[in-house]
Amino acid sequence: MITLVSLVLPAAAHHGWSEYDVAKELRLTGTIAESGYEHPHGHIRLVTPGKTWHAVLAPPSRMSARGLPPADLKKGATVTVVGYANRAKPDEMRAERIIVGERTIELR
């Protein structure tokens, strides 16, 4: 029984993408206040005029493979994130792509 529970919990902790409103694309430019490059998804806290967002990024292995190292997500960096707002959490978004300098990195 313990094995069964340990297999179910990680899956339950992962959120579904259906909680994001894909009918309304957001394009936000701001400054990174905090970042994380860990599983299951990387993330940044993006300070934009009037609001701070928690942007859910891709898994670290995908970000690395697509050319987005942790150093590009440093505190104080200016980036643009394109994605979708969470329907239930008004300060959270799922990032589809991130623009760092002149580079656009596809996350999905």
pLDDT of 15 reads 56
pLDDT of 8 reads 41
Q: How far is CA 26 from the centre of its chain?
A: 13
User: Please, what are the domains in the chain?
Assistant: 19-106 (2.40.50.1010)
Query: At 43, which amino acid appears?
Result: H
Question: What pTM value is reported for the model?
Answer: 0.84
pLDDT of 38 reads 95
pLDDT, one tens digit for every residue, the chain (108 residues): 444 444 444 443 455 779 999 999 999 999 999 999 999 999 999 999 999 999 999 999 999 999 999 999 999 999 999 999 999 999 999 999 999 999 999 999
Cis peptide before 10, with omega less than 30 degrees from 0? no
Strands 92-100, 103-106: pairing is: antiparallel
Beta strands in the chain (DSSP E): 20-36, 43-48, 51-56, 78-86, 92-100, 103-106
pLDDT of 4 reads 41
